[in-house]
Chains A and B, each alone.
Chain A
């Protein structure tokens, strides 16, 4: 079994907007920490996934993201992401995750596209 190699942080960027900072790998071994991070965001109106420090994502990791997206939909939260490399943007495209999660270049873009006030 491989060890979990994900460091994850949750912060409130602006009121009502939770940013999940992902640092490392998203594989099935990190399910618990990813879902725990999401639980901290359940009351936010908008969740932003920061993939700037994403190192690796496999198909099991895509499954985890699907579960997270479904939970966010259930809570009627807006979902945004930024910091994806071209490679991982393509993966979001082929799996059609980009149908339900808006992808931006950076955090400011994610916040402004979602109508959030970005105070820098």
Chain B
């Protein structure tokens, strides 16, 4: 065995401390790859990214956590499994249509969601970032939320692996903001609580408890973003249903 130089050891420490991350390249607008099937790309194709600073409503940081107690699994294994079959952890009312290459930075995934009144709402996300212990999605214009959602796993102080979803989001437009207190917030909570429960079950935790923590980071509405409503995916679904009935 050859001796490791100080630089090699330093590089190794660096690699362990800092998993290799990848970022999406800047894009003017989103393009849905042909291999993404199962949802309508109309409300995503050509749209711009809409981060936490581009939305209308109050800014929330919502954190959902589940401890994978009893599971002999590393954070890296949790994230690998989560990325590999991301859509399978979602509730039955929603569908995540991953691109062929999976959860890879720069890829666009489509989401199809059942909304009240039997409407089917189609939107999507851009995979912004991925490393061995986390990955992040950014919302496009038209999505109910403007913001980013990071999925991660790490050991807690008791050395139990914890899976986490952290959303930094605000309602994309005034219509969504109106529905936040009585519908949209609750739906958001239900989705991520379901996802983490399903993830824990995947690793053998049948009755895992998901903790939910919500902090209002900015209580002000961004009225200059009022016009975001023109991209609202719900309005698009409604007008499409109306046109179909008339024809």
A residues within 8 Å of B by Cβ?
A: 1-2, 5, 25, 56, 58-60, 62-63, 66-67, 69-70, 73-74, 87, 90-91, 93-97, 99-100
Taking a contact as CB atoms closer than 8 A, the residue among B21, B53, B156, B157 that contacts A69 in the complex is: B53
- The chain A residue with its CB closest to the CB of B131 is A58
Interface size on B, residues (CB 8 A): 36
The answer to whether A70 and B23 have CB atoms under 8 Å apart is no
B43 sits at the interface (CB 8 A): no
Chain A CB within 10 Å — which of B25, B49, B51 has the most?
A: B51
B154 sits at the interface (CB 8 A): yes
Chain B CB within 10 Å — which of A62, A93, A94 has the most?
A: A94
The answer to whether B27 and A94 have CB atoms under 8 Å apart is yes
Q: Nearest 5 CB-CB pairs, A to B?
A: A59-B136, A59-B129, A93-B26, A94-B26, A70-B218
B-chain residues with CB within 8 Å of residue A94 when the two chains form the complex:
23-27, 49, 128, 138
Minimal beta-carbon separation of B67 from chain A (angstroms): 14
B-chain residues with CB within 8 Å of residue A90 when the two chains form the complex:
23, 25-26
The answer to whether B218 and A95 have CB atoms under 8 Å apart is no
Rounded to whole angstroms, the CA-CA distance of A72 and B237 in the bound complex is 37
B-chain residues with CB within 8 Å of residue A60 when the two chains form the complex:
134, 150, 152, 166
Rounded to whole angstroms, the CA-CA distance of A120 and B52 in the bound complex is 36
B168 sits at the interface (CB 8 A): yes
Instruction: Report if A66-B157 is in contact (Cβ < 8 Å); known contacts: A58-B134, A60-B150, A90-B23.
Output: no
What would 20 A/B residue contacts be, using CB atoms closer than 8 Å? A1-B156, A5-B17, A59-B134, A59-B150, A60-B150, A63-B168, A66-B51, A67-B217, A70-B52, A70-B59, A90-B25, A93-B26, A94-B23, A94-B24, A94-B27, A94-B128, A95-B51, A96-B49, A96-B50, A96-B54
Chain A CB within 10 Å — which of B49, B52, B150, B154 has the most?
A: B52
The answer to whether A99 and B53 have CB atoms under 8 Å apart is yes
The answer to whether B21 and A58 have CB atoms under 8 Å apart is yes
B residues within 8 Å of A by Cβ?
A: 17-18, 21, 23-27, 48-54, 59, 61, 128-129, 131, 134-136, 138, 148, 150, 152, 154-157, 166, 168, 217-218, 220
The answer to whether B166 and A97 have CB atoms under 8 Å apart is no
Rounded to whole angstroms, the CA-CA distance of A96 and B50 in the bound complex is 8
The answer to whether B150 and A63 have CB atoms under 8 Å apart is yes
- The chain B residue with its CB closest to the CB of A96 is B51
- The chain B residue with its CB closest to the CB of A99 is B53
Chain B CB within 10 Å — which of A25, A95, A96, A97 has the most?
A: A95
The answer to whether A66 and B128 have CB atoms under 8 Å apart is no
Chain B CB within 10 Å — which of A62, A73, A87 has the most?
A: A62
The answer to whether B59 and A95 have CB atoms under 8 Å apart is no
B-chain residues with CB within 8 Å of residue A73 when the two chains form the complex:
218
